[in-house]
Amino acid sequence: MSATRSPKVSERVAPKPADPQPKKKKHDDDDGPDFGTLLRAWIESHRASLLDSLRRLGKQPIGSFFTCLVMAVALSLPMGLSLLLNNVERLGGSWQRAAQISLYLNLDASAKEGEALRDDIKNMPGVADAEYVSRDQALEEFQQQSGLGEALKELPQNPLPGVVLVTPNEVDKTALEALRQKLAELPKVQQAQLDLVWVERLAAILKLGDRFVFGLTVLLVSALLLVIGNTIRLHIENRRTEIEVIKLVGGTDSYVRRPFLYMGALYGFGAGILSWGVLAFGLNWLNDAVVGLAGLYGSDFALAGVPVADGLSLLLGAVLLGYIGAWIAVARHLRELAPK
């Protein structure tokens, strides 16, 4: 009975069917990593470098702040001078108006003839604007400015001629003299007067101001590159052993250079923000005195603040200077960091 109940030995030890032969795995190295993988790796590397630079700057907040402050002061000087020159130009209305040509008309020229002459001059090339001052207006202004109002009333007739004030498009001595001669030949014009001495002085002042600002900008930009280069050099020296180990295990120059470039750009960004704030505060502080002085002369002139476009240009320039200074410093010392 027991033999019939127990299973056959051949059934227990029967071999299982062989597993199908495993398929060969496709090697990932056949085509290499795809573009998406490379892009994610590149972004992750830059993100890690940026965070590392922020962390290292955060460990030295006082030193980082003073480095940015020194750079901000150097950036503020040329930008501040440029903004002051723009405000001075706006104070005068325009530099072209300072070189106006005064056309004194004949005494027999009527007001209609003066206005018609003004309209003709406005359409002439090289002329930005023209304004007609009648004989009555000229006498009234002279009475107010000279303080001889009662004495002038005793005159039998108005001795002042009508005047056409011509504003040129550009301040150029040769062009202004040619325009003056052309205007002097117009009918009803007795005399065309131009203060060429003032024009020459004005051109010399503008040229001197432009050269001074340009020279100061070049000097301070060079100083900024030295400051950021020296700062980055100190960071490189503090991490010399770490960098040598990275290069020993196969780290590329770009991998070693990247954190320092971000650090230089961050220094520049902080300096740009501080410089923008210094300029805004300085102009606002100086504006109180300017408004008080202008009020004494019956003017409502006030200093304009830092335009947004100029502020953004300053910020971008500071970041670029920090990046370039860091690049120069790293390129100079990278050769010395090769593993020995």
C-beta of residue 206 within 8 angstroms of C-beta of residue 170: no
Domain with CATH 3.30.70.3040 in the chain: 100-194
Rounded Cα gap, residues 188 and 63, in angstroms:
73
Rounded Cα gap, residues 55 and 62, in angstroms:
14
**Predicted pLDDT of residue 310:** 86
Higher pLDDT, 219 or 20: 219
**Predicted pLDDT of residue 258:** 87
Higher pLDDT, 149 or 318: 318
**Predicted pLDDT of residue 188:** 85
Query: pLDDT grade, residue 299 (50/70/90)?
Result: low
Rounded Cα gap, residues 202 and 207, in angstroms:
9
Query: pLDDT grade, residue 7 (50/70/90)?
Result: very low
What percentage of residues in the chain have a pLDDT greater than 70? Answer: 79
Rounded Cα gap, residues 142 and 160, in angstroms:
9
Rounded Cα gap, residues 235 and 254, in angstroms:
17
**Predicted pLDDT of residue 27:** 46
Closest C-alpha among 178, 177, 180, 220 to residue 74: 220
- The DSSP string of 203-230 is HHHHHHHHHHHHHHHHHHHHHHHHHHHH
Instruction: Classify residue 166 by its DSSP letter.
Output: E
pLDDT > 60? residue 26? no
Max mean pLDDT range (5-9, 33-37, 91-95, 184-188) = 184-188
pLDDT > 50? residue 3? no
**Predicted pLDDT of residue 296:** 76
pLDDT > 70? residue 178? yes
pLDDT tens sequence across 235-288: 888 878 777 787 778 777 778 888 888 988 999 999 999 999 999 998 888 888
Residue 167, token pair as written in the block? 């504003």
**Predicted pLDDT of residue 89:** 65
**Predicted pLDDT of residue 174:** 81
**Predicted pLDDT of residue 82:** 83
DSSP-derived pairing of the beta strands 163-168 and 127-133: antiparallel
Q: What integer best gives the mean pLDDT of the chain? A: 78
Mean of pLDDT values over 278-301: 82
Mean of pLDDT values over 145-168: 72
Rounded Cα gap, residues 168 and 131, in angstroms:
12
pLDDT > 50? residue 142? yes
Closest C-alpha among 304, 279, 281, 296 to residue 88: 304
Which residue do the tokens 């301040």 mark? 171
At 69, the amino acid letter reads: L
C-beta of residue 134 within 8 angstroms of C-beta of residue 104: no
Rounded Cα gap, residues 145 and 3, in angstroms:
143
Closest C-alpha among 330, 322, 255 to residue 46: 255
Query: Which CATH number does 100-194 carry?
Result: 3.30.70.3040
* Inter-CA distances, 91 with 84, 98, 304, Å: 10, 11, 11
Query: pLDDT grade, residue 6 (50/70/90)?
Result: very low
Spell out the alpha helix ranges (H) of the chain.
2-5, 9-12, 35-59, 61-91, 95-98, 111-122, 135-146, 149-153, 173-184, 196-238, 240-248, 253-296, 308-334
**Predicted pLDDT of residue 96:** 56
Query: pLDDT grade, residue 38 (50/70/90)?
Result: confident
Closest C-alpha among 45, 28, 68, 34 to residue 252: 45
Lowest mean pLDDT, pick from 4-13, 22-31, 182-191: 4-13
